[in-house]
Structure 1
């Protein structure tokens, strides 16, 4: 028996599934918090500047908001799997 096959038979993989679940849940709030920090640190945009954009946020804030939305699916799965008390 090789070392590799003996390592795969042990319980070394048991911690990966719960850890991956918690990391998935941590991603969306982390990116939302980073978007908030990026928005607070961004310099104010002049309203009449030639490079004004549609949104009053900079590129990093928009990127973090999009990443937060893309990583929202574990929260939606968690919310949909919970039984609700209402009938």
Structure 2
């Protein structure tokens, strides 16, 4: 392999490493954004209401925990693992 093509390979590897690091940073941020987003959605749904389709969703559910607020709270709890990891590191 010539020296020019060898230096291009090193540059490509550096670019790939930088891209992977940026992708990991975005993934970490998105994983931390999920739980608070669902908690805010639960709060807004409880305060403002679900709108005209809320009755349709709750009528189809025979469960005592039916509705959008419990669903958002459960989703927030299921997505809290990244926050728990962050807190346990400190």
Q: Which has the larger radius of gyration?
A: 2
Q: CA RMSD in A?
A: 2.8
Question: If the length of structure 1 is used for normalisation, what is the TM-score?
Answer: 0.64
Residue of 40, 43, 53 corresponding to 1:33: 40
How many residue pairs were aligned? 70
What is the match of residue 15 of structure 1? 22
Q: Following superposition of structure 1 onto structure 2, how do residues 3-82 of structure 1 map, counting pairs within 5 Å? A: 9=13, 10=15, 11-42=18-49, 54=64, 59-82=67-90
Question: If the length of structure 2 is used for normalisation, what is the TM-score?
Answer: 0.62
Return 5+ residue gaps in structure 1 as ranges.
44-52, 83-87
| Structure-1 separation of matches of 2:21 and 2:83 | 22
| Structure-1 separation of matches of 2:64 and 2:73 | 16
Return 5+ residue gaps in structure 2 as ranges.
51-62
